[in-house]
Amino acid sequence: MTRTVLAVDDSRTMRDMLRLALTEVGIKAHFAEDGVHGLEVLEGLEPDAIITDINMPRMDGFGFISAVRKRPEYRGVPILVLTTESAPELKQRAREAGATGWIVKPFDPAKLVRAIDMVAG
Partner 1 sequence: MADPMEEIRASFFIECEELLEAMQDGLQMLEDGAADGETINVVFRAVHSIKGGAGAFGLDALVAFAHTFETALDGVRSGRIDVDGDRLKLFFRCGDLLADHVRATRDGETLETAAHEQVVEALEALGGDLEEEEIGDFQPMAMSLDLPGLGSDGDLPDLGSLGGLPDLDFGMDFGEGGATASGAWLIRFAPKDELYSTGNEPLYLLRALADLGEVEVTADTDRVPDLDALDPAAACISWTILLTADTDEATIREVFDFVDGLCELSIKTAADDAQSNADALGEADLPLLDLPVAEVEPEHDAPAAPTPEPEPVAVPESVAVPVAVALAPPSTATRPALTAAPSAASDRKPTAPHATVRVDLERIDRLVNLVGELVINQAMLSQSVREAGVPQTSPASSRLDEFLQLTRDIQECVMMIRAQPVKSLFQRMGRIVREAAAAVGKDVRLHTDGEATEIDKTVVELLAEPLMHMIRNAVDHGLEKTEARIAAGKSPEGLVTLSAGHRSGRVVIEIGDDGAGINRARVLKKAIEKKLIPADAQLTESEIDNLLFMPGFSTAAEVTSISGRGVGMDVVRTAIVSLGGRISITSREGAGTTFSISLPLTLAVLDGMVVRVEEETLVIPLAAIVETLTLNSTDVRTLGPETQVVRVRDAFLPLLDLGTELGYRTPRGDYSGAIVLLITQEDNSRTALVVDAIEDQRQVVIKGLHDSYGHVPGVAAATILGDGQIALILDPIDLIANASGRSRISTRAELALAG
Residues 61, 54: contact at Cβ < 8 Å?
yes
- Judging by beta carbons within 10 Å of its beta carbon (0-12, 13-18, 19+), is residue 38 exposed, middle or buried? buried
Binds partner 1 by CB under 8 A, chosen from 28, 30, 36, 66: 36
Query: What is the Cα–Cα distance from 105 to 81, expressed in whole angstroms?
Result: 10
Is residue 66 a contact point for partner 1 (CB under 8 A)? no
Is residue 73 a contact point for partner 1 (CB under 8 A)? yes
Contact residues toward partner 1 (CB under 8 A) are: 1, 10-14, 16-17, 20-21, 24-26, 33-34, 36-37, 39-40, 43-44, 46-47, 55-58, 69, 71-79, 83-87, 90, 95, 98-111, 113-115, 117-121
